[in-house]
Amino acid sequence: MNQLTVLSLGRLWWAAIGLIALANAPLPGVEKANLPPADEPLAEEPAANANTQETDHAAGHRAGPNREAVVVFGRDAVLKKGETAEAVVVIGGSARVEGRVRAAVVTIGGDADISGEVGDAAVAVMGSVKLAPTAKVRGDAVSVGGSVDVAEGASVGGHTQEVNFGGWQLPKLHWLQQWLRECVFKGRPLAPSVGWLWIVTGVYLLVYLLVAVAFPGAVQSCVQRLTEQPATTFLTGLLTKLLVPFVLGLLLITGIGIIGVPFLVAAVVLAKVFGKVALFMYLGQQLARAVKPEAALKPLLAFLLGWLLITLLYMVWYLGFFTMILVDIWALGVAVMAVVSRSRRETPPASALPPPPAAPVPSSAPAPPVAPSANYASLAGPAAGAGAGPAPTPPAMPATATVPPGGSPPVPPTISPAAPPVYPPEALAYPRAGFWQRIGAGVLDLLLIGIAVRLMPFRHGDLPFLLISVAYFTALWTWKGTTVGGIVLNLKVARLDGQPVTWAVALVRALFAWFSAVVLFLGFFWIAWDKELQGWHDKIAGTVVVRLPRGTPLLLL
C-alpha cells in the first residue's frame, strides 16, 4: 500500500473516530484552509446550526443544542441545499450532501453522493464516492472497496483514490448495507425485510431437520440432559465457551498443534447443531404443555414449534441478539453434557473371574453311607492347584459295611480335576472409553509428537509429522497396547477377538486413523454416536478402546 493510501486511511481514522468522540468540541485536525472562505459572513452560522439540527431531526438523529456534526446509524442522511454541518458520518447507510460540510463526509457500508461542498475528505468504506458536476471536495476523495465517480465539472482539491484488494474491487454491497441497517443496528439477527437472510435461515432449518431425522438417539440423549439438568447444561456451555479459546491458543503455541485446530472447531460446530435441535424440541414440548399439560407432541412437531418460537424472538429489536447468545451457549452445553454422560455410562462388564468349579461328580454306583466323623475338608483344599502335596485319599469305609453275596464292593466317590480358569477378553471385561476421553488422549499424544518434530534439526513439510506419528502409535500399541495419552487416562486398545494387538493390526489402525481425520474428522466423530463407541479405524482394525480401573499399572502390562 503506497503513501497515498496510508494518507487516505489516516484521514478515514481521523474522520470516523475523532468526529464521533469529539462531536461537541472543535475538531483539532481542521486547519484554516478547511474553514469557510473569509468573504462569507459569520452571522449566518446560527442559522446554519439551526438548519443542521432540523436536518438531524429529519434524518432520525436526535441532536442536542450546539451539536455541529451529523452522525447517523443504520439509515441514510441528507444534508439539503443551503444547510451547513461540521461533519457528516453515516454508519450502515448512505449520505447525500447538497449543502456544505466544513470537515469530512464519511460513510461506512454506504455511498457518499455529493453535489455540494466538502471542506475536507470524502470517504466511503464498502461503498462509492459519487461527485456531481456541482460538487467541490477540498481534500481527498477515497473509496475503500468501491469506486470514485467524478462527473465533469466536479473539483477535487486532493487525491482521488480507490483502495482495493490486490486489484480486485469489491462488488456492490447493498445486501450488507441492508443487513447492517435492519439487523446489526437494531440488535437482532433476523429482519423480515432482509430477503437473503431468510434463504440462509431456510438452509439452517434443513440441516437441523436432517440431524433430527438421521440421529434421533443422539438428539433424544441431549433432550434428556436438558430436561434433567437445565441449569447445569447452561453453565457447562458457558464454561466450554471460555475454555475453547484457551485450548485453541495452546494448540497454536506448539506450532504443529495447529493440525488439531480444525478438529476442535468442527467439534464445537457439530455440538452446537445437535444442541440446538435438542433445545428446539425441548422448548416445543414445554410450550405445548404450557397450553395443555397432558400434551405430548411428536419429536419433529415439537422441534418445529420450538424453532418457530426462537425465530420470532430473533426478530425482536435488541432482544434478538440476547436470545441468539443464550441459545448458542445453552446448545453447546447440552451437547457437551450429553457426550460426557454417555462416556460415563458403563456397559455391564462381564465378570473377570470364572464361575466356581462344579461339585465333584460321583460315579454311577451309589455311594455307601459314610460315618459322620469323616473329614471332607481334605477333598477341596489340594484340588485347587496341581502338585500341592500328596493326592487326596478317599474316606475310609465304615467297619459295618458288608458286601452282599455275589456282588461287588461299593465304589468310593471320585473327584474331577479342576479346570483352569478361563478369562473373558479385555474388550468384554472392561467398559468402553467415551468420545471425550479418547480425544483427550489423542490430543496429548499429538502434542508430544509435535514437540518432538519441532526439535528435529531438519523439517520438510508435514511428512516427518505423519511418519513419526504412524511409527509412534504402531510401536506403542504393539508393545503396550496403549500410548502416553492412554496411560494418563487409563485407556487401552483391545481386539474384539481377544488376541493381542500385533504390529500388523497396529499399523493398519494407525494408517486408517489418518483416514478418519482427513475426511473432515468424521471417522473420529463416529465414536460419539456409534453404539460400540468405535471409530472408522477401529471398525477396520477390529479393535476397541477400553477403560481400565484406576490404579492399573499400564506400564507393567
Which residue among 313, 344, 375 closes a domain?
Answer: 344
Question: Could you tell me if 97 and 118 are in contact, meaning their C-beta atoms sit under 8 angstroms apart?
Answer: yes
Summarize pLDDT for 90-107 with one digit per residue, the tens.
887 789 999 999 889 999
Q: Could you tell me if residue 398 is inside a domain?
A: no
Give the model's pLDDT for residue 29: 35
Domain shared by 232 and 118, yes or no: no
Cα(192)–Cα(241) distance, rounded to whole angstroms? 30
Cα(174)–Cα(110) distance, rounded to whole angstroms? 8
Domain shared by 270 and 169, yes or no: no
Give the model's pLDDT for residue 20: 42
Q: Could you tell me if residue 8 is inside a domain?
A: yes
Number of domains in the chain: 3
Q: Could you tell me if residue 197 is inside a domain?
A: yes
Q: At what angle do helices 435-454 and 522-529 cross, to 10 degrees?
A: 150
Domain shared by 303 and 434, yes or no: no
Cα(188)–Cα(315) distance, rounded to whole angstroms? 6
Give the model's pLDDT for residue 413: 58
Give the model's pLDDT for residue 276: 94
In degrees and rounded to multiples of 5, residue 382 shows phi and psi of: -65, -20
Give the model's pLDDT for residue 538: 92
Give the model's pLDDT for residue 407: 53
Q: Could you tell me if residue 437 is inside a domain?
A: yes
Give the model's pLDDT for residue 304: 92
For the CA atoms of 375, 376, 378, 381, the dihedral, rounded to the nearest 10 degrees, stands at -150
Domain shared by 205 and 145, yes or no: no
Handedness of CA 9, 11, 12, 18 (dihedral sign): positive
Domain that holds residue 234: 190-344
Domain shared by 154 and 79, yes or no: yes
Domain shared by 30 and 121, yes or no: yes
Which residue among 344, 367, 385 closes a domain?
Answer: 344
End-to-end Cα, the chain, rounded Å: 63
Three-state SS annotation for 97-132 = ECCEECCCEEEECCCEEECCEECCCEEEECCCEEEC
Which residue among 175, 202, 231 closes a domain?
Answer: 175
CA 82 to chain centre: 55
Domain shared by 87 and 132, yes or no: yes
Give the model's pLDDT for residue 479: 86
Give the model's pLDDT for residue 404: 56
Q: Could you tell me if residue 146 is inside a domain?
A: yes
Domain shared by 552 and 451, yes or no: yes
Question: Which parts of the chain sit beneath pLDDT 50?
Answer: 1-67, 168, 346-354, 356-357, 359, 361-365, 370-389, 391, 555-557
